[in-house]
Amino acid sequence: MDKKTQTSPQTSHPAAADTLIADYQRVVEELQEVRQDQKQGQIDLEAAIERANALAAKAEIANIELNQIINTSVDGMFLVYQDFTVKRINDSLLSFLNLKEADALGRKCSELMASPWCGTPECPLTIILHKLPRIEMDIRRQKQDGTTVPFMFTATPFRGIDGELIGMVARLKDITERKYAENMLREANQRLEHLATIDGLTQVANRRFFDQTLEKEWNRLKRTGEPLSLILCDVDFFKLYNDTYGHQAGDDCLRAVAKAMDSSAKRGGDCVARYGGEEFVAILPATDAKGADRVAENIRLSIEQLGIEHKSSKVAPCVTLSLGVTTMIPSDAGSPLKLVHCADKALYEAKSSGRNRSIHWSDT
């Protein structure tokens, strides 16, 4: 009985030992797996750090290149965030503002370039934030020396990596040369337009301008019910003047007559024009018959008083005019052509009755 009790533990010892060995081996394997995982984790971490460093280097290079691109632009450029603070500004704009970068970054855009639209719904950034894809306008800004410079202002949205709108990029292009060219072109067009309405010899209005003005005044006065008067005149015996003194002297004579007529028709709405050859015409808006006769007589006397010698004239020793005058109240029953026709009749009557006089023709 005692022997059995002593030998029983000896028979169970080998099994317990096997279990311990197995547990140990399992722990060793787990440790090896942990070490392997740690090693792989370290490798992955180092690779991730390397990639991050590479991306950071690329980002830094891209930032440097972006700065170079922005700063080599002759146009002023700046980046403004939603809170209206300037986050980036290039050298060209800094030079125009006479500021250093440190003095510009972080400040409100309104502090750098105050505009009438600042704080209003017309503010470009406010408009951009309301999803307008692009803004373009001509503006003027004053330099420190007081010089005003015209710019083309362009603003476009600026978005972050996630695509969210965070501000705007604005560009200011100096368009001084363009504006100069536009002004020169406008002035040239105005000169051409002026030349198209002026008689080259006498420098009063030409026939084309007379026709346009007469039509315009007829329609205007038809609405107001006011009278319209017309004076048609002719230099007496002008062909004989040319034959006697030559065409150069004839041109000088016509220039002197035109100048004297233009001085006699003094009101702003009056129009003196060369009708053709040695004929001239004066449009007198809102002028009644008495007023027109008075102007016609002033014109006749002013030409006579010039004292231009005309020894071939059959009415006077100097250059004179014959004038036909007519007055109408514009209406649908009449026409500008009828007004001219009546003035022509009056002129014919003045010439037929001795010249150097004015005749008023009434169609009523």
Q: Could you read off the pLDDT tens digit of each residue along the chain, which spans 364 residues? A: 444 444 444 445 667 777 777 777 777 777 777 777 777 777 776 777 777 676 666 656 655 655 665 666 778 888 888 888 988 888 888 888 888 989 888 898 888 888 888 888 888 888 887 777 888 888 888 777 778 888 888 888 888 778 888 888 888 888 888 888 989 999 988 888 888 899 999 999 999 999 999 999 999 999 999 999 999 999 999 999 999 999 999 999 999 999 999 999 878 789 999 999 999 999 999 999 999 999 999 999 999 999 999 999 999 999 999 999 999 999 999 999 999 999 999 999 999 999 999 999 986 5
Model pTM above 0.85: no
Beta carbons of 276 and 207 less than 8 angstroms apart: yes
Beta carbons of 75 and 172 less than 8 angstroms apart: yes
Measured between alpha carbons, how far is residue 265 from residues 26, 205, 300, 304 in Å? 123, 13, 12, 16
Active-site residue among 278, 279, 297, 304?
278
C-alpha 288/C-alpha 226 separation (Å) is 8
Query: What does the pLDDT look like over 239-260, one tens digit per residue?
Result: 999 999 999 999 999 999 999 9
Q: Which residues are within 8 A (CB) of 107 and not within 5 positions of it... i.e. 6 or more apart?
A: 85, 86
307: left (phi over 0), alpha (psi -120 to 50) or beta: left
Residue whose structure tokens are 């750090």: 49
Q: Among 354, 304, 305, 348, which Cα is nearest to 326's?
A: 348
For residue 353, the one-letter residue type is S
Burial class (CB in 10 A: 0-12, 13-18, 19+), 15: exposed
Active site residue 279: no
Burial class (CB in 10 A: 0-12, 13-18, 19+), 228: buried
What phi, psi does 360 have (nearest 5°)?
A: -100, 125
Query: What does the pLDDT look like over 83-141, one tens digit per residue?
Result: 889 888 888 888 888 889 898 888 988 888 888 888 888 888 888 877 778 888 888 88
C-alpha 286/C-alpha 225 separation (Å) is 9
C-alpha 105/C-alpha 88 separation (Å) is 6
Strands, E assignment, the chain: 76-81, 86-89, 135-142, 148-159, 165-174, 228-235, 271-276, 279-285, 321-328, 358-361
